[in-house]
Structure 1
Amino acid sequence: MMNPNGLQVYSEIGRLKKVLLHRPGEEIENLTPELMNRLLFDDIPYLKVAREEHDAFAKVFQDNGVEVNYLEDLIAESLFDNSRKEAFIDEFVKEAGLKNQLRIEQVKDYYRSFETNRAMIDKMMAGIRREELKPSGLRTLSDLVDMNYPFIVDPLPNLYFTRDPFSTVGSGIALNKMRTPTRCRETIFSKYIFRYHKDYKNLDIPFWYDRDMANAIEGGDVLVLSDKVIAIGISQRTDADAIEIFARNVFSDGQPFQTILAFDIPKTRAFMHLDTVFTMVDHSVFTIHPEIEGPLTVYSLTRSDKKGDYKIEREYQTLETILSKYLEVDSVKLIRCGGKKGIDAGREQWNDGSNTLALAPGEVIVYSRNHVTNQLLESEGIKIHEIPSSELSRGRGGPRCMSMPLNRDLIIKK
């Protein structure tokens, strides 16, 4: 199971060794009020400050001995020969929603015109404004109908939430099928990195899920609670059918996981992913949104002796009872976002007060703006690293959402 040089995530809290980030780019500058709903934003971050905040986020990792990898660098390095690059361009453009074949070829040529892979990737992420490319050849009806839309290729402003397009679980990944068309192209980057990048292409990494599958699953719903238990949200963004496919694949491999807990959470923006309502901060200690404190419907998928098979049971219990049972501890401690239901909880939940990222057991990264929750964490003995968050938080995602651990130390049971 030990794989210190490859992918290794068997907990939410093992000391973090390697993480994947994306520094916000020009895609943020291509958000407009009219397009916020389409592009899944509630506000428009100020890019200059968002980058400063993100750099402070990265510095916390670096100051604590964590290797920081950037999505934009890894994908550029993955396109190491011309045939690979051409296949990538073809796949990216195919999913960009272009209808006119002349326009498709023009966009491909535009991407090929960049002198470096990194410059091309930055433009793919940023999107192509309509004024950047003149009409190519005979204009079609679809071209004329789309004239008032500002983009030829939409930007990808959600990319700085690297948690969602794939999930590192054990020594493999789930290459996710995103719920919305706006985010589907994000997973193409992950596909090429984990199949072709020099650091991963020879590791024979198992894929627990694939982006071409029919049902949606997103990384914010996947929490690796221990080397035996995975929690997944049945949410606004993740389907129950996808969880079953994931379970069959994980249970078919030689991984140690024994149980997948499928939490049926409200299908609303406030409960978008499971990690927006609870995250693990220490052994048996969690931050939670007070709204999920009551009895929950949870389905346990427990591995059977037959390879890939499992049994399903429906349980209706409090979060404490469920977590204590499957983590095999006497009790768990729940630290409530904002302290209790009410104004503080509502405000800090909106700004992802319960979306923490563990650097190590009992040591987490948090947004500075969630001061009520942060004080509660400190009062419970949790070491916190506060990062500035006035602009990053406008995307409705916290430190866990903005990071994808690639390697964590194993938890040594006492």
Structure 2
Amino acid sequence: MKSLHVKSEIGRLKKVLLHRPGKELENLTPQLLERLLFDDIPWLELAQKEHDAFSNVFRDNGVDVVYLEDLVSDTLKQSDTLKQQFINQFINESHVVNDALKYRLSDYLNGFNDTKEMVLKTMSGIRKNELPSFEKLTLTDYIDDYPFATDPMPNLYFTRDPFSTIGNGISMNKMFTETRRRETLYSDIIFKHHNEYKDKKRYYNRDDLMSIEGGDILVLNETILAIGVSQRTHPAAIETLAMNVFYKYGTSFETILAFDIPKSRAFMHLDTVFTQIDYDKFTLHNSIDQPFKVYELTKHPSKQGEVKVTQIVKTLDQILEHYLNHPVMLIPCGGGDQIISFREQWNDGANTLALAPGEVIVYSRNHVTNKILTDHGIKIHTIPSSELSRGRGGPRCMSMPLIREDLK
């Protein structure tokens, strides 16, 4: 079986990438919340227990679980040169400008005997007082009391965003916010050097000009992608991806539907607006305006190497029914009740992850939406989420499928 194979949102899941929340959550402070994209500070011990329950649902259902930190450390163990290259790139992309501090950070990270522990330390953030040789040398050191030499990366447990599996290749995404840009370092080195994952087709690159994030990319079937034009995904990035998918790599994908969604944190990505849960069923953000403005991207019929763009203004169900070629049902988060939907959408009630057609993982706290799903014949696996949900992301946000079975 291929190491990457995803041609739908609902084909039976066989392999998934996760990141178990680490000490990066304990380096969150109230002063850092807005910049690091959190609304509250999770309790790490309970967040890890909740995440372990999440991963156990996969294992109990025959899904192979791999962890980002393990794949990175396995990759770096291949050579000391590769490890040093990673350390140098991490320091440079952490915007460390003082040469003396660069040397101290390099010595500190090279001092770890366990490569995985070193990788986890780059994720958790390095405090200045952790460096055994740190001293104030520059004007910035004396004036700025900022405690970190390199910032923590608390959003890493949302593995959906840094890269996206599309068919048998990937989009190596450029993150919208500066605080999340370094997250793609880890997947980048995996897909360049890991023995199982290196040299895969790249439909987008982390150093491309415009931003695109994985939460905006949905694989509807082997020929159609849906991508959100959101606060975090620029239309020019979608056009670049389309050129590569249609022409450079000759994939099976023939159509990209670019959904123009509100540019706000409340509608962060397309997968907060709707997710597929069965052949004919989708969850829906109850506050989304209808009709939708959608743009169809296809190969240009008469201009080789160009993309044709066609505007479509229809309701979401009309659009999905047309392109999927069968009736669909939209199930609104909270059942359409204004108070319930606002509350449960805040906790990502519409952000589900399909294990198979008609079988999904959901947060237990969204009990109204969960009952509605059950009433519509959907098998649900509930996971606890009092701490995980503080990062504003659901089960789909926290997972990156690597292999799904094809739909029959």
Do residues 263 (structure 1) and 259 (structure 2) align?
yes
Residue aligning to 2:59: 62
In structure 1, C-alpha distance between the alignment counterparts of 2:267 and 2:285, rounded to whole Å = 9
- Residue identity (%): 58
Show the 5 A alignment for 1:78-89: 78-79=75-76, 80-89=78-87
CA contact (8 A) 1:235 1:273 kept: yes
What SS does the aligned partner of 2:203 have? strand
What SS does the aligned partner of 1:8 have? coil
In structure 2, C-alpha distance between the alignment counterparts of 1:91 and 1:309, rounded to whole Å = 35
In structure 2, C-alpha distance between the alignment counterparts of 1:36 and 1:387, rounded to whole Å = 25
In structure 1, C-alpha distance between the alignment counterparts of 2:110 and 2:206, rounded to whole Å = 25
Residue aligning to 1:208: 203
In structure 2, C-alpha distance between the alignment counterparts of 1:116 and 1:404, rounded to whole Å = 26
CA contact (8 A) 1:288 1:354 kept: yes
Structure 1 residues 312-367: Cα deviation after superposition (integer angstroms, max 9, x where no partner)? 011111101111111122x2100110010510000000000000000000000000
One-letter code aligned to 1:236: Q
Residue 308 of structure 1: how far off its partner (Å): 4.5
User: Residue 183 of structure 2: which of 186, 190, 204 is its match?
Assistant: 186
Do residues 243 (structure 1) and 226 (structure 2) align?
no
Do residues 275 (structure 1) and 274 (structure 2) align?
no
User: Residue 12 of structure 1: which of 9, 12, 17 is its match?
Assistant: 9
Aligned pairs, how many?
A: 405
Residue aligning to 1:227: 222
Structure 1 residues 284-335: Cα deviation after superposition (integer angstroms, max 9, x where no partner)? 2100011225101111102345665321011111101111111122x21001
CA contact (8 A) 2:239 2:307 kept: no
Residue 219 of structure 1: how far off its partner (Å): 0.3
Show the 5 A alignment for 1:5-404: 5-79=2-76, 80-133=78-131, 136=134, 139-146=137-144, 148-201=145-198, 204-252=199-247, 253-292=249-288, 294-304=290-300, 308-329=305-326, 331-404=327-400
Residue aligning to 1:408: 404
What SS does the aligned partner of 1:232 have? strand
Structure 1 residues 210-254: Cα deviation after superposition (integer angstroms, max 9, x where no partner)? 001110000000000111110011101110010000110011222
Residue 130 of structure 1: how far off its partner (Å): 2.2
State the TM-score, normalized to the length of structure 1: 0.96
Structure 1 residues 84-138: Cα deviation after superposition (integer angstroms, max 9, x where no partner)? 1111111111010112110011111111000011010010001011221256477
CA contact (8 A) 2:225 2:256 kept: yes
In structure 1, C-alpha distance between the alignment counterparts of 2:192 and 2:304, rounded to whole Å = 26
In structure 2, C-alpha distance between the alignment counterparts of 1:64 and 1:307, rounded to whole Å = 45
In structure 2, C-alpha distance between the alignment counterparts of 1:195 and 1:284, rounded to whole Å = 37
What SS does the aligned partner of 2:296 have? strand
What SS does the aligned partner of 2:88 have? helix
Residue 256 of structure 1: how far off its partner (Å): 1.0
RMSD: 1.2
In structure 1, C-alpha distance between the alignment counterparts of 2:289 and 2:231, rounded to whole Å = 19
CA contact (8 A) 1:293 1:319 kept: no
Moved over 4 A (4+): 134-138, 305-308
What SS does the aligned partner of 1:89 have? helix
In structure 1, C-alpha distance between the alignment counterparts of 2:147 and 2:337, rounded to whole Å = 42
CA contact (8 A) 1:296 1:318 kept: yes
Residue 157 of structure 1: how far off its partner (Å): 0.3
In structure 2, C-alpha distance between the alignment counterparts of 1:409 and 1:354, rounded to whole Å = 23
One-letter code aligned to 2:261: I
CA contact (8 A) 2:344 2:369 kept: yes
Gaps of 5+ in 1: none
